[in-house]
Amino acid sequence: VLNLASKTKPEWLERSLEHIDDVLIDHAHCEKKAAGAALRLLFRYPQHDFLQLPLSEIAREELSHFELVLEELRVRGVALGRQKPSPYGGKLHQLFRPRDPDQLVDHLLISALIEARSCERFQLLAGALEDKRLAAFYETLLVSEARHHRLYVELAEQLAPSSEVRARLQALAESEAEILASETSPLARLHT
């Protein structure tokens, strides 16, 4: 279960299939950002033992995904380059409550939702791509992102009662759905 409050629209898939190289470039940046987000939490919360190993593993795994996407770009002769990110991540970060442990709970749950959305979209790509090799690539990745989703929710549940975490997850999922629905960017990105 991915705990998302909305389904991706068919237009997203259509545009992504037309501009799959742009999606791959964005994807590479997203994997790097996912690793960075896990690492930042490690720097910020050394006092929480329960976070250390799982977040270190996630960071390494996201970097290995980054390397896989880089290889995919290399094979296709596409340069990575700089990219203006979509406002998705920034808008999600504005939802953080101001104080810990709430803020950490929110941070973990928003990471969980980003993982869930990536997973949902990898699934769509895997089912629709004519390039069977690339489809298989997304099929493998979506399994890890689904696991990351669950792991982030479980980590949040170590900080607050499960019922509270679930209610907050639901509320944040609705905000995530609204943020995505408000995106009007014509660019092919994982999270627009």
Q: What is the DSSP letter of 189?
A: -
Q: Which stretch binds Fe ion (CB under 5 A): 45-53, 61-69, 86-94, 178-186?
A: 61-69
- Which token pair is 55? 């977040």
Residue count at the site for Fe ion (CB under 5 A)? Answer: 7
62 binds Fe ion (CB under 5 A): yes
Direct distance between the N- and C-terminal alpha carbons of the chain, in angstroms, rounded to an integer: 22
- Residues 124/8, Cβ–Cβ less than 8 Å: yes
Query: In whole angstroms, how close is the CB of 129 to Fe ion at the nearest point?
Result: 18
Query: In whole angstroms, how close is the CB of 114 to Fe ion at the nearest point?
Result: 8
Torsion of CA 136, 142, 147, 148, to 10 degrees: 130
Kindly report the number of other CB atoms within 10 A of residue 111's CB atom.
24
Query: In whole angstroms, how close is the CB of 58 to Fe ion at the nearest point?
Result: 6
Kindly report the number of other CB atoms within 10 A of residue 10's CB atom.
10
Query: In whole angstroms, how close is the CB of 30 to Fe ion at the nearest point?
Result: 7
148 binds Fe ion (CB under 5 A): yes
65 binds Fe ion (CB under 5 A): yes
Q: What is the DSSP letter of 7?
A: P
Q: Which is nearer to Fe ion, 10 or 36 (CB)?
A: 36
Binding mask 9-38 vs Fe ion (x if CB under 5 A, - otherwise)? ----------------------x--x----
CA angle 167, 12, 186 (to 5 degrees): 110
Q: How deeply is 184 buried, as exposed, middle or buried, from its count of CB atoms within 10 A (0-12, 13-18, 19+)?
A: exposed
On the question of a cis peptide bond just before residue 101, with omega within 30 degrees of 0, the verdict is: yes
- Which residues from 97-126 bind Fe ion, rule CB under 5 A? 115
Query: In whole angstroms, how close is the CB of 65 to Fe ion at the nearest point?
Result: 4
Which of 26, 106, 145, 176 lies at the binding interface for Fe ion (CB under 5 A)? 145
Q: Which stretch binds Fe ion (CB under 5 A): 40-48, 143-151, 157-165, 173-181?
A: 143-151
Query: In whole angstroms, how close is the CB of 34 to Fe ion at the nearest point?
Result: 5
Enumerate binding residues for Fe ion (CB under 5 A).
Answer: 31, 34, 62, 65, 115, 145, 148
